[in-house]
Every structure is written in structure tokens, then in C-alpha cells.
Amino acid sequence: MRKSDQLERLPVPRGDDLPVGQMLLARNGQDRRLPRIGAAIERLFAG
């Protein structure tokens, strides 16, 4: 991973299980898209 890449971490609650998460990576200059992509993935996981 390059220093210019940006990360977005999403917690994925699973009831009483151990916490898990998902990490998204964007190319240099595309980091503004990550929160929107993360929100869409959260909606998918929410059912």
C-alpha cells in the first residue's frame, strides 16, 4: 500500500459474536468517495 492511499474502516456488528470489520482502500485522489461507498456498504449489511 502506498502512503498516498486512504483507508476507511467499517465496523460490522454481529450480535454477541466478536466484532469484525471491513476495510476499504482508495487510489490516490479518490479518497472523497470512501465515505459514500462505506455508507452504501453499511446499508447493504443492515439488510
- Provide the grid cell at 32: 472523497
**Residue 30 pLDDT:** 79
- In the predicted structure, residue 45 carries a pLDDT above the cut 60: yes
Flag whether the pTM goes above 0.85: no
Measured CA to CA, the distance from residue 28 to residue 14 in angstroms comes to 32
Choice between 46 and 9, residue whose per-residue pLDDT is larger: 46
**Residue 10 pLDDT:** 63
- Provide the grid cell at 33: 468517495
pLDDT tens-place string over residues 2-43: 554 555 566 666 677 777 777 777 777 877 888 888 888 888
- Provide the grid cell at 31: 479518497
